[in-house]
Structure 1
Amino acid sequence: MHLFLALCISTIVTGAAIEQRDAVPPGYVAAPYYPAPHGGWTSDWSESYRKASLLVSNMTLAEKTNLTAGTGIFMGRCVGNTGSALRVGIPQLCLQDGPLGVRNTDHNTAFPAGITAGATWDKDLLYRRGVAIGEEFRGKGVNIHLGPSVGALGRKPRGGRNWEGFGSDPVLQAYGGALSIKGIQSVGVIATLKHLIANEQEMYRMYSLVKPGISSNLDDRTLHELYLWPFAEGVRSGVGSVMIAYNAVNGSACSQNSYLINGLLKDELGFQGFVMSDWLAQISGVSSTLAGLDMSMPGDRHDLPIVLGNSYWMFEYSRAVLNGSVPVDRLDDAVTRILAAYFQMGQDQNYPRPNFDTNTQDAEGPLYPAALISPRGIVNEFVDVQANHAEIARDVSRDAITLLKNQNNVLPLRRNATLKVFGTDAEKNPDGINSCNDQGCNKGTLGMGWGSGSARYPYMDSPIDGFKARGATYQFFNTDSFPSNSNPSPNDTAIVFVSADSGENYITVENNPGDRTSSNLNLWHNGDKLIKDVAAKYANVVVVVHTVGPVILEEWHDLPAVKAILFAHLPGQEAGASLMQVLYGDVSPSGHLPYTLPKSESDYPQSVSLVGYQIGQPQDTFTEGLYVDYRHFNKAKVTPRYAFGHGLSYTTFAYSNATITAVTPLTATPPTRPAKGETPSYSTAIPPASEAYWPENFNRIWRYLYSWLDKNDADNAAKAANSTTKYPYPEGYSNVQGPGPQAGGAQGGNPALFDVAYSISVTVSNTGSRPGKAVAQLYVQFPSTSTVDTPIIQLRDFEKTSTLAPGTSQTLNLRVTRKDLSVWDVVSQNWIIPVVDGDYGLWLGDSSDALHLRCGTARGSCAGEQTSPV
Structure 2
Amino acid sequence: MDLILDSLCKGMACSYAKLQCNHYAWSNLLRTSINPVKRLHIPAGYVASPYYPTPHGGWVAGWSESYRKAALLVSNMTLAEKTNITCGSGYFMGRCVGNSGSAPRLGFPQLCLQDSPLGIRNSDHSTAFPAGITVGATWDKSLIYARGVALGEEFRGKGINVHLGPTVGPLGRKPQGGRNWEGFGADPVLQAVGGALTIKGVQSQGVIATIKHYILNEQEMYRMYNVVQPGYSSNIDDRTLHELYLWPFAEGIRAGVGSVMTAYNAVNGSACSQNSYLLNGILKDELGFQGFVMSDWHAQISGVASALAGLDMSMPGDGLIPLVGDSYWMYELSRAVLNGSVPVDRLNDMATRIVATRYQLGQDKNYPDPNFSTHTQGPTGLLYPGALFSPSGVVNEFVDVQFGHAEIARNISRDAITMLKNVNNTLPLHTNSSFKIFGTDAQKNRHGINSCPDQGCDEGTLGMGWGSGTARYPYLDSPVDAITSRASNVKFYNSDTFPSGLTVAARDIALVFINADSGENYITVEGNPGDRTHAGLNAWHNGNELVKKAAAAYGTVIVIVHTVGPILLEEWIDLPSVQAVLFAHLPGQEAGASLTSILFGDVSPSGHLPYTIPNNESEYPTSVSLINVKIGQPQDTYTEGLYIDYRHFNAHGIKPRYAFGHGLSYTTFSFSNATITAVTPLTSMPLARPPKGATPTYRTTIPPPSEAYWPANFSRIWHYLYSWLKESDADAAVAAASTNTYPYPAGYSQTQKLGSPASGDQGGNPTLWDIAYNISVTVTNVGHYAGKAVAQLYVQFPPGVNYDTPVIQLRDFEKTKELAVEESQVLRLSVTRRDLSVWDTGMQNWIVPDIGGSYILWLGESSDGLNLGCATGWLVCKGGWKSPV
1:440-468, CA deviations, whole angstroms, 9 ceiling, x for partnerless residues?
00000000000000000000000011112
- Is this contact kept in 2: 1:766–1:808, CA < 8 A? yes
Could you tell me how far 1:616 is from its partner in structure 2?
A: 1.1
1:339 pairs with 318, 335, 355, which one? Answer: 355
2:481 is the alignment partner of 1:475: no
> In the alignment, is the contact (CA less than 8 A) between 1:12 and 1:312 conserved in 2?
no
Deviates more, 1:248-257 or 1:370-379: 370-379
1:696 aligns with 2:708: no
Where does residue 533 of structure 1 map in the other structure?
A: 549
2:666 counterpart of 1:628: no
Partner of 2:284: 266
- Structure 2 match to 1:807: 822
Asked whether 1:866 is paired with 2:881, we answer yes
What is the match of residue 35 of structure 2? none
CA contact (8 A) 2:797 2:856 kept: yes
Distance change in 2, residues 1:759/1:162 (3 Å): same
Query: Which amino acid letter does the alignment assign opposite residue 703 of structure 1?
Result: H
TM-score scaled by length of structure 1: 0.98
Residue type matched to 1:461 in 2?
A: D
**Counterpart code for 1:207:** Y
Change over 3 Å in CA distance of 1:808–1:373 after alignment to 2? same
> Aligned partners of 2:846, 2:500: CA distance in 1, in Å?
63
Q: 1:537 to 1:630 in 2, by over 3 A?
A: same
Match of 1:3 in 2: none
Report the CA distance between 1:290 and its aligned residue: 0.2
One-letter amino acid of the structure 1 residue matched with residue 63 of structure 2? W
For 1:77, what is the secondary structure of its paired residue?
Answer: coil
Matched residue of 2:202: which SS? helix
Deviation at 1:472, TM superposition (A): 3.8
> 2:265·2:271 contact (CA, 8 Å) conserved in 1?
yes
Q: Which amino acid aligns with 1:539?
A: G
Residue 18 of structure 2 aligns to a residue whose secondary structure is: coil
Instruction: Note the 1:458-607 alignment, pairs <5 A.
Output: 458-607=474-623
Q: What residue ranges of structure 1 are gaps of 5+ in the alignment?
A: 1-6
Shift of residue 23 of structure 1? Answer: 2.2
How big is the alpha-carbon RMSD for the aligned residues of Structure 1 and Structure 2? 1.3
Matched, 1:136 2:154: yes
- The 8 Å contact of residues 438 and 495 in structure 2, kept in 1 or not, is answered as yes
Residue 794 of structure 2 is matched in structure 1 by 779
Instruction: Say yes or no: does 1:327 pair with 2:333.
Output: no
2:566 touches 2:612 (CA, 8 Å); kept in 1? yes
1:739 aligned residue: 754
> Partner amino acid for 1:494?
A
The structural deviation recorded for 1:614 is 4.4
For 2:801 and 2:341, the matched residues in 1 are separated by 50
Give 1:837 deviation, angstroms: 1.1
Q: Counterpart of 1:817?
A: 832
1:720 maps onto 2:736 in alignment: yes
Partner in structure 2 of residue 104 of structure 1 = 122
1:760 aligns with 2:775: yes
1:88 alignment partner, one of 103, 106, 117: 106
- The Cα shift of 1:810 comes to 0.3
1:197 match: 215
1:772 touches 1:804 (CA, 8 Å); kept in 2? yes
Structure 2: 5+ residue stretches without partners = 1-11, 29-37
Pick from 149, 166, 169 the counterpart of residue 187 of structure 2. 169
Pick aligned residue for 2:694 from 655, 658, 678: 678
Displacement of 1:613 after TM fit? Answer: 1.4
Contact 2:432 2:487 survives alignment (8 Å): no
* 1:381-436 CA distance string (max 9 Å, x none): 11100011000000000000000000011100012111111000000000000000
CA distance in 2, matches of 1:498, 1:315: 52
Does the Cα contact within 8 Å between 2:39 and 2:632 map onto a contact in 1? Answer: no
Aligned residue in 2 for 1:35: 53
Task: Confirm or deny: 8 A CA contact 1:222 1:626 kept in the other structure.
Answer: yes
Aligned position for 1:210: 228
Amino acid at match of 1:155: R
Is the 2:511–2:557 contact (alpha carbons within 8 Å) kept by the matching residues of 1?
A: yes
Q: Amino acid of the residue matched to residue 877 of structure 2?
A: C
What's the counterpart of residue 144 of structure 2? 126
Q: Secondary structure at the match of 1:124?
A: helix
**One-letter amino acid of the structure 1 residue matched with residue 480 of structure 2:** I
| Residue 441 (1) aligns with residue 457 (2) | yes
Query: What TM-score comes out, normalization by structure 2 length?
Result: 0.96
Would you say the 8 A contact 1:420–1:494 is kept in 2?
Answer: yes
The reply on whether 1:730 has 2:745 as its aligned counterpart is: yes
Aligned pair 1:75/2:131, yes or no? no
Cα distance in 2 for partners of 1:769, 1:435 equals 45
Partner residue in 1 for 2:33:
none
| In structure 2, distance between residues paired with 1:636 and 1:805 | 40
1:25 matched to 2:43:
yes
Does the residue aligned with 2:682 lie in a helix, a strand or coil? Answer: coil
Indicate the residue corresponding to 1:430 in structure 2: 446
Contact 1:13/1:325 (<8 A) preserved: no
Deviation at 1:786, TM superposition (A): 1.0
Contact 2:40/2:634 (<8 A) preserved: no
Percent identity (aligned): 70
CA contact (8 A) 1:35 1:737 kept: yes
The amino acid of 1:720's aligned partner reads A
**2:588 aligned counterpart, secondary structure:** coil
Q: Does 1:386 align with 2:406?
A: no
Matched, 1:847 2:862: yes
Structure-2 separation of matches of 1:360 and 1:545:
33
Show the 5 A alignment for 1:224-373: 224-301=242-319, 303-304=320-321, 306-373=322-389
SS in 2 for 1:795: strand
Does the residue aligned with 1:717 lie in a helix, a strand or coil? helix
**Conserved? CA contact 2:20–2:303, under 8 Å:** no
Counterpart for residue 3 of structure 2? none
Checking the alignment, whether the CA contact within 8 Å between 2:91 and 2:323 is kept in structure 1 is no
Give the letter aligned to residue 864 of structure 2.
Answer: D
Deviations 1:115-160 (A, max 9, x none): 0000000000000000001111001110000000000000000000
* Separation of aligned partners in 2, 1:512 and 1:779: 36
| CA positional deviation for 1:639 | 0.7
> CA offset at residue 202 of structure 1?
0.1
1:575 alignment partner, SS class = helix
Match of 1:187 in 2: 205
Tell me the amino acid that sits aligned with residue 791 of structure 1.
P
**1:195 positional shift:** 0.3
Which amino acid in 1 is paired with 2:381? G
Residue identity in the other structure for 1:551: I
Tell me the secondary structure at the aligned position of residue 13 of structure 1: helix
